[in-house]
Amino acid sequence: MDALKKLIEAYWLTGSQNIKNILIKKIRFQNLSRIKKYHSNKKLPLKVLFIVMHSSGFKSLNVLREMINDKTFEPIIMVNPYTLKDKESMIEQIEEEFEHIKNMNLPVQIISSYKKESDSWVNIKEEINPDIVFFTNPHKLTYYEYYEELFINYISYYVPYSHQISNYGNYYPQYNQLFHNAVFKIFTPHKDDLIIHQKYSDNKGINVEVTGYPATEKLIDKNYVPVDVWKPQKKKKIRIIYAPHHTFNYQELPLSTFLRYSEFMKNLVEKYKDEVQWVFRPHPLLKEKLIKYKDWGEYKTKKYWEFWEEHPNCQISEGGEYIDLFLTSDAMIHDCGSFLAEYLYVNKPVLYLVANSNIKEYFNSFGLKAFEACYHAYKEEDIDNFIKSLIEGKKDVKKTVREKFLEENIYPFFKDKTPSQRIIESIKKDFNII
């Protein structure tokens, strides 16, 4: 394994495609050897470690829930560090995310990667030694021990943390990092993903399987009864989610309209306070980026968050699941990536805030289909008109387009089995468990 670590260090240093190709082949060979060894040992239950950085990005949560009810598996959750922060902020985030997950009341062991009593970090091999590692993020945002060392040493799986709607970076960040080529298997949300992997991934998508998106199962489960998470009001109001993205200073994926509309959205809260109530659902990275941004900073960001938290017809939703929030809402206004597809599952009006006239150039084929199923706002007047149409109960002219999108791209993955059930079956097949 030391040789592979040296190769990885050389790859990060040089970016050599030749080194990357060698790593892909070596890791694939080792994974196949490990699987073959498990076939002969039949060691059960399989200890499965879910690596979680942001609970809102824990899109394999329903897979874990399936495992809880299956004696084949012993699932464990570990909250790992986001190392792009300073140590104090990093530890604070670990503690916050640990509490988020703990409050889900899952009957599994939950581990913090940081050991406060000794100011040290969990050694996964010595303290957990899993059979399988489930990743929730593909990016190099944490320590080597919780990223490369894991997909080198363990059979690793990955469910994308978003619905895969963009093509930024010529598909490299979401489809062709060393990670995507090295993990044993990727379970993708839609068929377009497989085609993209086959064209742009160095391994031609050999480790990719289309299963549908496990994170969205409850959104179309007719038997699921959502919890009403909205702040009580004196009278019934239209419930709108405002979900701004974080990429206001990111040229490769310029989705965010937050700087353009942040104050206008506050004005709309006041304007329609008797008819509309709001949930502010910012991307997990937006707040920290605004704090560091020269035109905002900590004080302005704090005051903005306080507005949404303290206004009588507003509240903030940060981190954790948002299934109940979606199901008990009436509409969404946003410029997010994954929500472009995910909110369509509830088949309710959704307004997409268009950042640039050439926005379609940043979507992949699936993202374009999802985009066309939304209403679009290019200016403040479009947002105002969308809200008025909801209040006045005007005809939802996009409903037919949404339903067609769901019938062609989503529902086929939920007819006989759920995506989570497909994933569990796939893993059992990998390990030759009948």
In tens digits, what is the pLDDT along the chain, a chain of 434 residues? 588 999 999 999 999 999 999 999 999 999 999 998 888 777 889 999 999 998 888 999 999 999 999 999 999 999 999 998 889 989 999 999 999 899 999 999 999 999 999 999 999 999 999 999 999 999 999 999 999 999 999 999 999 998 999 998 889 999 999 999 999 999 999 999 999 999 999 999 999 999 999 999 999 998 999 999 999 999 999 999 999 999 887 777 778 999 999 999 999 999 999 999 999 999 988 998 999 999 999 999 999 999 999 999 999 998 778 999 999 999 999 999 889 999 999 999 999 999 988 889 889 999 999 999 999 999 999 999 999 999 999 999 999 999 999 999 999 999 989 999 999 999 999 999 87
Taking the C-alpha atoms of residue 290 and residue 194, their distance in angstroms, rounded to an integer, is: 35
Beta carbons within 8 Å of 256's beta carbon, 6+ residues apart: 244, 245, 246, 247, 248, 250, 335, 355
Domains assigned to the chain: 2-212+416-430 (3.40.50), 220-409 (3.40.50.2000)
* Residue 346: per-residue pLDDT: 96
Taking the C-alpha atoms of residue 155 and residue 278, their distance in angstroms, rounded to an integer, is: 43
* Residue 120: per-residue pLDDT: 95
The torsion region of residue 170 among left (phi > 0), alpha (psi -120 to 50) and beta comes to: left
Please tell me the pTM assigned to this model.
0.91
Interhelix angle 258-271/297-310, nearest 10 degrees: 30
CB neighbours of residue 415 within 10 Å? 8
* Residue 370: per-residue pLDDT: 97
* Residue 39: per-residue pLDDT: 82
* Residue 320: per-residue pLDDT: 74
Contact (Cβ atoms closer than 8 angstroms) between residue 43 and residue 58: no
What is the sign, positive or negative, of the torsion defined by CA atoms of 172, 174, 175, 178?
Answer: positive
Residues comprising the chain, all counted: 434
* Residue 1: per-residue pLDDT: 56
* Closest by Cα among 376, 242, 236 to 385: 376
| DSSP class of 338 | T
Beta carbons within 8 Å of 322's beta carbon, 6+ residues apart: 56, 281
- Measure CA of the first residue to CA of the last residue in the chain; give whole Å: 32
Phi and psi at 243, nearest 5°, equal -125, 90
What SS3 state is found at 57?
helix
* Residue 262: per-residue pLDDT: 96
Contact (Cβ atoms closer than 8 angstroms) between residue 419 and residue 211: yes
Contact (Cβ atoms closer than 8 angstroms) between residue 111 and residue 83: no
